[in-house]
Amino acid sequence: MPTGYSGQVMEPAPQASGWILPDAVPVRPAEGYEYAGFWRRWGAYTVDSLLLGLPSWFVLVPLIQSTLSSIRTSTVFAPGSWTYDYVTQTYVATPATVLALGKLWDSLVQPFELFFVVSAVVQIVYFALFWSRRGASLGQQLLGVEVRNQRTGAWIGFRRGCVRAFGYHLSAFLLDIGFLWVALDSRKQGWHDKMAGTVVVKRSTRASTPRWLAILVLAIFVVSVSGGVLIVQSVAGQLPSTFKAPIPAQNQPPNGSMWFGVTYDQTTFALAGRSTTFGQGHQVAFVATLARTVHDLDPLTVHAISGSADVIIDRIEFHGASYILADILPGSAFNTPGQVTLLVEDASETTLATGTITVQ
């Protein structure tokens, strides 16, 4: 038994009726100790979760990367694989794309299931080892709490630690009620504590956290976050930045000009004969070949000029990198008969494309 903890939780004495009355809960589990409260324990668990969870990116992300590279994901993002539904304002997958997504999902399920099983085992072993060897996990040591046997006050053994760590999953199963129970229980026991017969205590006089421990936890956190971000970025770089298909050359207007229509085909952007005359309130689609290439989040504005009125009717943050722009203009912008000149401007108010339509 570790030094400094000599108290015990006494067994209640049997009564004449044969019933056992619950024992009185002591204010302190032993001289110099207190039951650790919910927020301190939550902080310790958060630290442990980060220490265990962030390094998993080094396994999970390469797993995703290798899975994606082994499958032809290009079919999911190929031109024509998605169409745009203007009723629901969403992209809709074609039957072939749905089939490809199903195959992609099936290929990811098995490695993901294996990953989560291994993660659960690693978590149980991590906690059980630290509780049995040092009386507290790294997060608990950082926050100054310890896990003890509720009857003897000793550090718990590896087997009891496995039971308690497994109890974490049961405590989280029903909306984390098993963890929240700590805030309600007189001994500050969660469901996992009651399963394993443990209590979590802290010294009444808090000892300072060892500097080496604080540095170790901080170093693991920084390395894990930095490495995880780099790996995620490398995987994200393999995916297309936009679902929009390239416009075939035969459907492109001359540089710096715009074509208009009343339909909008996601695959080819063919625009109903490239119309220039519309009824009032019609939804107008356009394709513009811009005077220069625009890039991700390059702010563009679409102006409608009628007579002396110059109204901005659309603001666009372009996604991808291209000199082609295609979009739908709101019908409310075309409620007045006459000629309307539309132009696309960049942030410096340079005109990149222009075209004129007639509203009847």
**CA nearest to 271, candidates 188, 189, 357:** 357
pLDDT of residue 206: 66
| pLDDT tens sequence across 263-322 | 655 445 545 556 777 777 777 778 888 888 887 677 888 888 887 788 888 888 766 667
pLDDT at 228: 65
Element (H, E) at 316: strand 309-317
pLDDT, tens only, 108-136: 777 777 778 888 888 999 999 999 999 99
Identify the pLDDT of residue 19. 38
For residue 25, give every residue at least 6 positions away whose Cβ sits within 8 Å of its Cβ, in sequence order, or none.
Answer: 186, 187
Tell me whether strands 277-278 and 351-359 are parallel, antiparallel or unpaired.
Answer: parallel
- Which pLDDT value is given to residue 203? 84
pLDDT value for 16: 38
Q: Give which of 348, 338, 342, 328 is closest to 256, Cα–Cα.
A: 342
Residue 238: CB partners within 8 Å, gap ≥ 6?
65, 68, 69
pLDDT for the residue numbered 190: 93
- How far, CA to CA in Å, does 169 sit from each of 110, 121, 277, 280? 21, 11, 65, 61
Q: pTM (2 decimals)?
A: 0.51
Confidence at residue 304, expressed as pLDDT on a 0 to 100 scale: 85
CA distance 242 to 245: 8
Model pLDDT, residue 324: 78
Grouped pLDDT means (10 residues each) for the chain, 360 residues: 46 40 52 86 87 73 66 60 58 71 74 80 93 92 90 90 92 88 90 93 75 75 70 58 51 78 57 69 79 79 84 76 75 75 88 86
Residue 334 near residue 238 (C-beta atoms within 8 A)? no
